[in-house]
């Protein structure tokens, strides 16, 4: 059912410069992490269980890349979008992938949207747009998050911002709600009132956090992470994954699924769980390949 | 030299752009940015176009951001926290966050929520167990991995305490010299609105910011403007009807490289029941040094395969990579205007006059089933190397 839904929408936003072929295509998957600088995103961000689980849906499970870039920078920075572009081209040019599915988490979707929205900015971007079938955006921070606002509240009082530089001063500043509104209006496509992205972006939206120690589900993705997110959820709308409000996650592209529609048992996916193989997420993503 | 309302630019023809309207962004004069080196950008000319579905709803132009705040924040010294700081709330269940300030290493400087005491309006003291519905230690918030500062702790006020004029103090000796106190009341009806009259500015522009409040009296407010390099200046606010308004001129000649300017407001509010409450709000806007601009007359040609090619002359003040973008609109069988395609084009350009061309493919126009006269809308000029939006115009030209 979702497959049919996706094809129907995709047909209305076909790019002119190239249309991904559906026959004899070499399909590959790229995993794009969220805020922060990653050097081993496979082990420390996604986990092999999720990556291998999704890759199992490929005809050739070797056609996978787990991106490691510096997403503590603004999305357009060469260490962010430039690094992402180079690593995606390793799969496209290096491995001959011409049917690329990009799985992003959190701010990774914004970096990918930068590439998709700005094809004349960098000569690496057009080939990526041409090869990309769609983006599976897990918990994207498309409209920013009040938690980025909260993180920046103290900056006017601070005499030391060393802690923030360590996490990603620019990436956090970028994901403030006022800032993302501006970047969406001026540099990015896919939000309300803006031109569509040249390829579809399908959002998966986490709606709640469960951190009951007696509930086994709370332990998937790390119990302590979920406890923390259950607390931060109180800063956010009633519908959130502990970091991203549902309205933000659904703010660009099209919703693919709310977590309860997707997961085994209708479980909620917290912001930590939507990058792990929790409640059948890997199988669901693999099934779409 | 504005294009006549009934005029249209036909193939082989050339006309000036329509005059920019209120809400558009257009340079009045060009300026060479102050910078130490030429921006880094690819030298390869690139062009791209994509179809836009007929039912796509496109906003004619961006609207200024409207920040709506049900929260406030302030800095308090360790001594003030020991003595007690005012913590007015307007709704049950407020979330209070305490973040150490002024320390390089602050993970161990978190204020232990269990050492906090809340004093209500009647002078009754409430300990943590009684007054807090939710406690979050620094370790728990660190584990949430959402970017909050090390040492941050938080709690929610127990709903049974209601809301009103509380005082918060700590019985422990704070380890940091100062703390950020942040109170979020997401269920409160008291919302401060902060919005500018523009969302983007060019060198020399004046930005006005309004501060508004519904359902309560705005007693007073202070404002500050922060530039992308972290420099801050006071924003003087004056009464403007029920609102407060502040204005400032943006005249920084350094290109901000995509970072935004922010305006932050701290307001004192009196509610209907006489409570002196607080609200803080922040909004943001973009800024550009006008390093290039449209000049002369655009020309339209029929492409080699029958599409439309719109060439836009430019005056370039500073060496760099520039990009133009615009959407083509056409008329369907009923004569209704609808979006057809988006085109972008960019190249590395030298100072002087040059041009960039938007190419709208014939196949897309044919597939859309539209006819002229076409319109070029949402025309944009961007300095790509300096990450600056230089020109934005909702309606640029009619094209035959």
pLDDT tens for chain B, residues 1 to 400: 232 233 455 667 788 899 999 999 999 999 999 998 888 899 999 999 999 999 999 999 999 999 999 999 999 999 999 999 999 999 999 999 999 998 777 777 888 888 999 999 999 999 988 888 878 888 888 888 888 888 999 999 999 999 999 999 999 999 899 999 999 999 999 999 999 999 999 999 999 999 999 878 999 999 999 998 888 999 999 999 889 999 999 999 999 889 999 999 999 999 999 999 999 999 999 999 999 999 989 999 886 666 899 999 999 999 999 999 999 999 999 999 999 999 999 999 999 999 999 999 988 898 888 988 899 999 999 999 999 999 999 999 998 7
Name residue B73's beta-bridge partners.
B182
CB contact under 8 A, B147 and A147: yes
Residues from chain A contacting residue B327 (CB–CB below 8 Å): 195
> Is B29 part of the contact surface with chain A (CB cutoff 8 Å)?
no
Residues from chain A contacting residue B150 (CB–CB below 8 Å): 163
CB contact under 8 A, B95 and A157: no
Per the omega criterion (within 30 degrees of 0), is the bond before B246 cis?
Answer: no
Name the pTM for this structure.
0.93
> Is B363 part of the contact surface with chain A (CB cutoff 8 Å)?
yes
Residue B309 near residue B374 (C-beta atoms within 8 A): no
Span between the terminal Cα atoms of chain A, in Å: 14
Residues from chain A contacting residue B342 (CB–CB below 8 Å): 195
What string of H, E and C letters represents the secondary structure of chain B?
Answer: CCCCCCCCECCCCEEECCCCCCCCECCCCCCCCCCCCCCCCCCCCEEEEEECCCCCCECCCCCCCEEEECEEEEEEEHHHHHHCEEEECCCCCCEEEEEEECCCCCHHHCCCHHHEEEECCCCCEECHHHHEEEEECHHHHHHHCCCCCCCCEEEEECHHHCCCEEEEEECCCCCCCEEEEEEECCCCCCCEEEEECCCEEECCCEEEEEEEECCCEEEEEEEEEECCCCCEEEECCEEECCEEEEEEECCCCCCCCCCCEEEEEEEEEECCCCCEEEEEEEEEEEEECCCEEECCEEEEEECCCCCEEEEEEEEECCCEEEEEEEEEEEECCCCCEEEEEEEEEEEEECCEEEEEEEEECHHHHHHHCCEEEEEEEEEEEEECCCCEEEEEEEEEEEEC
Residue B145 near residue A225 (C-beta atoms within 8 A): yes
CB contact under 8 A, A151 and B147: yes
B residues 249..308 contacting A (CB < 8 A): 258-260, 262, 264, 280, 282-286
> Is B17 part of the contact surface with chain A (CB cutoff 8 Å)?
no
> Is A8 part of the contact surface with chain B (CB cutoff 8 Å)?
no
Residues 6+ apart with CB under 8 A from A200: A6, A9, A10, A13, A134, A135, A253, A254
CB atoms inside a 10 Å sphere around CB A216: 8
CA distance A159 to chain B (A): 5
Q: In angstroms, what CA-CA distances link B119 with A173, B89, B126, B130, B168?
A: 35, 12, 6, 11, 6
Distance CA B108, CA B110 (A): 6
Distance CA B327, CA B339 (A): 7
Name residue B168's beta-bridge partners.
B85, B118
> Is A288 part of the contact surface with chain B (CB cutoff 8 Å)?
no
List pLDDT tens digits, range A213-261: 666 676 777 777 777 788 788 889 999 999 999 999 999 999 999 999 9
> Is A12 part of the contact surface with chain B (CB cutoff 8 Å)?
yes
Strands B276-288 and B200-202: parallel
List pLDDT tens digits, range A101-122: 999 999 999 999 999 999 999 9
Model pLDDT, residue A156: 77
**How many contacts does A have with B, using Cβ atoms within 8 A?**
197
Give the closest residue to A29 by CA, choosing from A122, A149, A133, A114: A133
CA distance B146 to chain A (A): 7
B residues 171..200 contacting A (CB < 8 A): 178, 180, 182, 184, 186, 199-200
CB contact under 8 A, A74 and B323: no
CB contact under 8 A, A228 and B260: no
Which of A153, A187, A192, A238 to mutate to probe the B interface, most B CBs <10 Å? A153
A residues 155..174 contacting B (CB < 8 A): 156-160, 162-164, 167-168, 170, 172-173
> Is B68 part of the contact surface with chain A (CB cutoff 8 Å)?
no
CA distance A130 to chain B (A): 11
pLDDT tens series, chain A, 289 aa: 343 334 333 332 323 333 344 457 899 999 999 999 999 999 999 999 999 999 999 999 999 999 999 999 999 999 999 999 999 999 999 999 999 999 999 999 999 999 999 999 999 999 999 999 999 999 999 999 999 999 888 787 776 655 555 555 899 999 999 999 999 999 999 999 999 999 999 999 999 988 766 666 767 777 777 777 887 888 899 999 999 999 999 999 999 999 999 999 899 999 999 999 999 999 999 999 9
Phi, psi (rounded to 5 degrees) for B312: -115, 110
List pLDDT tens digits, range B259-309: 999 999 999 999 999 999 999 999 999 999 999 999 989 999 886 666 899
CB contact under 8 A, B140 and A228: yes
Find, in chain A, the residue whose alpha carbon is nearest to that of B198: A182
3-state class (DSSP) for residue A99: strand
Distance CA A62, CA A28 (A): 8
If you average pLDDT over every residue of chain A, what do you get?
87
ipTM: 0.94
Residue B292 near residue B39 (C-beta atoms within 8 A): no
CA distance B358 to chain A (A): 12
CB contact under 8 A, A17 and B285: no
> Is A153 part of the contact surface with chain B (CB cutoff 8 Å)?
yes
Considering only CB atoms, B285 lies closest to which of A76, A167, A182, namely A182
Considering only CB atoms, B286 lies closest to which of A14, A119, A182, namely A182
Residues from chain B contacting residue A122 (CB–CB below 8 Å): 42
Residues 6+ apart with CB under 8 A from B53: A12, A13, A196, B339
> Is A11 part of the contact surface with chain B (CB cutoff 8 Å)?
no
């Amino acid at each position: 059912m979702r497959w049919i839904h996706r094809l129907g929408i995709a047909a209305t936003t076909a790019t002119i410069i190239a249309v991904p072929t559906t026959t004899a295509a070499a399909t590959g998957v790229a995993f794009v992490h969220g805020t922060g600088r990653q050097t081993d995103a496979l082990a420390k961000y996604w986990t092999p269980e999720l990556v291998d689980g999704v890759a199992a849906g490929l005809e050739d499970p070797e056609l996978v890349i787990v991106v490691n870039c510096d997403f503590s920078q603004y999305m357009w920075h060469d260490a962010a979008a430039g690094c992402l572009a180079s690593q995606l081209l390793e799969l496209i040019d290096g491995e001959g992938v011409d049917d690329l599915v990009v799985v992003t988490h959190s701010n990774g979707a914004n970096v990918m949207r930068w590439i998709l929205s700005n094809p004349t900015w960098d000569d690496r971007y057009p080939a990526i747009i041409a090869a990309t079938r769609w983006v599976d955006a897990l918990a994207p921070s498309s409209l920013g998050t009040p938690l980025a606002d909260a993180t920046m509240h103290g900056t006017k009082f601070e005499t030391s911002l060393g802690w923030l530089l360590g996490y990603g001063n620019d990436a956090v500043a970028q994901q403030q709600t006022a800032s993302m509104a501006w970047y969406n209006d001026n540099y990015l496509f896919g939000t309300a009132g803006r031109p569509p992205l040249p390829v579809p972006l399908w959002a998966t939206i986490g709606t709640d956090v469960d951190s009951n120690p007696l509930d086994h589900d709370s332990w998937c993705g790390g119990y302590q992470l979920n406890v923390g997110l259950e607390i931060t959820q109180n800063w956010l709308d009633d519908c959130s994954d502990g970091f991203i409000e549902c309205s933000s996650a659904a703010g660009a592209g099209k919703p693919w699924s709310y977590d309860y529609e997707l997961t085994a048992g209708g479980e909620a996916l917290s912001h930590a769980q939507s990058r792990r193989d929790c409640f059948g997420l890997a199988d669901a993503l693999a099934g779409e390949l | 030299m504005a294009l006549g309302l009934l005029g249209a630019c036909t193939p082989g023809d050339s006309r000036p752009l329509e005059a920019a309207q209120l809400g558009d962004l257009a340079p009045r004069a060009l300026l060479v940015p102050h910078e130490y080196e030429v921006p880094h950008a690819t030298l390869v000319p690139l062009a791209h176009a994509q179809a836009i579905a007929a039912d796509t709803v496109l906003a004619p132009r961006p609207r200024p951001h409207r920040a709506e705040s049900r929260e406030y924040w302030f800095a308090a010294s360790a001594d003030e926290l020991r003595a007690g700081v005012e913590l007015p709330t307007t709704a049950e269940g407020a979330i209070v966050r305490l973040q150490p300030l002024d320390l390089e290493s602050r993970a161990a400087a978190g204020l232990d929520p269990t050492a906090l005491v809340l004093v209500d309006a009647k002078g009754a003291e409430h300990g943590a167990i009684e007054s807090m519905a939710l406690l979050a230690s620094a370790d728990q918030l660190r584990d949430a991995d959402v970017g909050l500062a090390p040492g941050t702790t938080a709690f929610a006020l127990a709903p049974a305490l209601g809301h009103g004029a509380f005082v918060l103090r700590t019985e422990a000796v704070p380890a940091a010299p100062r703390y950020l106190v942040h109170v979020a009341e997401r269920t409160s009806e008291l919302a401060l609105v902060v919005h500018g009259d523009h969302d983007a500015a060019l060198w020399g522009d004046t930005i006005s910011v309004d501060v508004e409040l519904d359902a309560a009296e705005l007693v007073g407010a202070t404002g500050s403007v922060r530039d992308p390099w972290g420099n801050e200046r006071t924003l003087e606010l004056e009464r403007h009807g029920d609102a407060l308004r502040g204005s400032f001129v943006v005249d920084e000649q350094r290109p901000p490289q995509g970072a935004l300017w922010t305006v932050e407001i701290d307001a004192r509010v009196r509610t209907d029941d006489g409570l002196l409450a607080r609200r803080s709000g922040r909004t943001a806007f973009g800024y550009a040094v006008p390093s290039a601009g449209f000049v002369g007359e655009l020309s339209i040609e029929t492409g080699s395969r029958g599409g439309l090619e719109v060439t836009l002359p430019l005056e370039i003040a500073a060496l760099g990579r520039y990009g133009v973008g615009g959407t083509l609109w056409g008329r369907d069988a009923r004569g209704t205007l609808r979006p057809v395609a988006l085109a972008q084009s960019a190249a590395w350009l030298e100072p002087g006059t040059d041009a960039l061309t938007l190419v709208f493919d014939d196949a897309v126009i044919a597939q859309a089933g539209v006819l002229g006269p076409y319109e070029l809308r949402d025309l944009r000029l961007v300095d790509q190397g300096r990450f600056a939006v230089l020109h934005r115009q909702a309606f640029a030209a009619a094209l035959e």
